[in-house]
Chain A
């Protein structure tokens, strides 16, 4: 993950409770009301890796139409980053986590 430079630039502050979530193992700080997509792109430039070939994606339409911003959560849950608000303690990944010993 390219954490050295954020994609998004915040130009209007948000009042609200601070939350901490984790993406690809790195802690991210956000405010309630932020979408997951914005929280991720304010700290880096990656939302997910495409299933076919692994190229990085960072969302596209921001309105829940293109379906290109689905991220993976630690328990195997899935969420669409642009239409989901951040919650404290989310553990998210850019690609499916190996489901140990499940292949058969």
Chain B
């Protein structure tokens, strides 16, 4: 029988594997990393003296359970860590493992590739000491380090307050928690956020903890610059009243929520549609996560929803695979999973209003700001090229003319901001500004990986 392959050993991939195993199948579970758990539930390296219970807080139980479940799963699956899927052609995966390439044919493919931080640039954001918000959490959870001693948290996300709490508890000074979305927007999103009361309560607890600790928490800020000679020395911003505020710090954790990593889904043939709430192109899926005749997408890699939604959608997609393989389906379980996924993903729409992607601030960035940090392309270069006669008006052409998005990360970091700059300059809506076309390899691969000629 043709293989069932799952890409991504985070909560979605693990839950999918569990469901398939429970029905007598033995999926292949591929992960780029060395240890299972994805990013949010990453298992720290051996020997690290981290109190994960304390660090994971209210999620500690789920975190421990996920890893227990994975351990129980191991003997029943074909687990392939440290394996990168760099290209997909038809029903063949092209893999890179131990510096060598190989292929793997699949009958059904479930991609649970997770997410990364969404970034809006600001002057000075490429200075040593500025890291993504997710990165700041990983430094701690994965490696037992803080990104600095006095850390500023900047962006718009419920995770700003959570990360600050974790950092404070581990001994960091918190310079400021600066959220670009006004408090009024958060308040008006409350009714929608009440759809997931436990999640909302957790968020309020994090914020309360910051207030109790005397941390400065600002809403409705406008970032002005990260300052420093050759590394971060301060964060300059304007508060909601327009006053300039400078916060001395040696690190900045920067983040505006998460965006799905959809490069593999793109290569596998998923269709995309622009989502107005999230201002992202997202893969089209049906209610169970189907994106094609042999393609299934689950977890944060298709829709941001957090670990709970990831687990439920992973299991749900696995049920869809079972159904498509003409095996008996547990309709009641599927209905329950689908309801949970729907509720948690809908919650994210409310979050997108309470913690808004700063589209207007990006459109107003000064020309001198670096937009593409791989290729060192400024916002001004993009605007300049677009304002010429016969100049480009959509992102792929802008990329061809400016090199923005042509670097090693292939637009992962600059893509969302580039999109807003292009839409603003072209005076078009988000969808018309275009979607950066995906191509192999999904990550850089060395010539030596191809082996040697016979």
Is chain B in direct contact with chain A in the complex (CB below 8 A)?
A: yes
Residue positions of A touching B, CB distance < 8 A: 2, 5, 7-16, 31-35, 38, 41-42, 45-47, 50, 52-53, 55-68, 70, 78, 83, 85
| Contacting residues of chain B (139-163) with chain A, CB-CB under 8 angstroms | 139-140, 142-149
Complex alpha-carbon distance, A93 and B126, angstroms: 19
Partner among B47, B128, B171, B261 whose Cβ is within 8 Å of the Cβ of A11: B171
Partner among B34, B116, B126, B145 whose Cβ is within 8 Å of the Cβ of A42: B145
Are A53 and B376 within 8 A (Cβ)? yes
Partner among B48, B126, B407 whose Cβ is within 8 Å of the Cβ of A33: B48
How would you classify the secondary structure of chain A's contact residues: helix, strand, loop or mixed?
loop
Partner among B49, B139, B250, B443 whose Cβ is within 8 Å of the Cβ of A62: B139
Are B126 and A67 within 8 A (Cβ)? no
- The interface residues of chain B lying within 8 Å CB-to-CB of A12 are 48-50, 144-145, 170
Q: How many A-B residue pairs have CB under 8 A?
A: 139
Complex alpha-carbon distance, A7 and B446, angstroms: 30
For the complex, is B409 an interface residue (Cβ under 8 Å from A)?
A: yes
- Interface window among B129-137, B279-287, B326-334: B129-137
Known A-B contacts A9-B145, A12-B50, A63-B39; A45 and B134 likewise in contact (beta carbons under 8 Å): no
Are B46 and A45 within 8 A (Cβ)? no
Are B135 and A63 within 8 A (Cβ)? yes
B contacts with A, residue count (CB < 8 A): 52
Known A-B contacts A16-B47, A31-B47, A45-B231; A38 and B143 likewise in contact (beta carbons under 8 Å): yes
Are A78 and B446 within 8 A (Cβ)? yes
Are B231 and A83 within 8 A (Cβ)? no
Complex alpha-carbon distance, A70 and B139, angstroms: 17
Are B128 and A56 within 8 A (Cβ)? yes
Complex alpha-carbon distance, A42 and B149, angstroms: 12
Known A-B contacts A8-B139, A10-B144, A63-B138; A45 and B129 likewise in contact (beta carbons under 8 Å): yes
Are A13 and B49 within 8 A (Cβ)? yes
Complex alpha-carbon distance, A12 and B32, angstroms: 25
Residue of A nearest to B147 (CB): A8
Known A-B contacts A61-B116, A65-B261; A7 and B407 likewise in contact (beta carbons under 8 Å): no
Residue of B nearest to A8 (CB): B145
Q: How near does chain B come to A86, taking the closest CB pair, in angstroms?
A: 11
- The interface residues of chain A lying within 8 Å CB-to-CB of B128 are 7, 45-47, 56-58
Q: How near does chain B come to A52, taking the closest CB pair, in angstroms?
A: 4
29 contacts between A and B (CB under 8 A): A2-B231, A7-B128, A7-B129, A7-B147, A9-B145, A9-B171, A10-B145, A15-B49, A32-B47, A34-B45, A35-B143, A45-B230, A46-B128, A47-B128, A52-B376, A53-B376, A56-B230, A57-B126, A61-B135, A62-B135, A63-B116, A63-B134, A64-B443, A65-B261, A66-B413, A67-B374, A67-B412, A68-B408, A85-B34
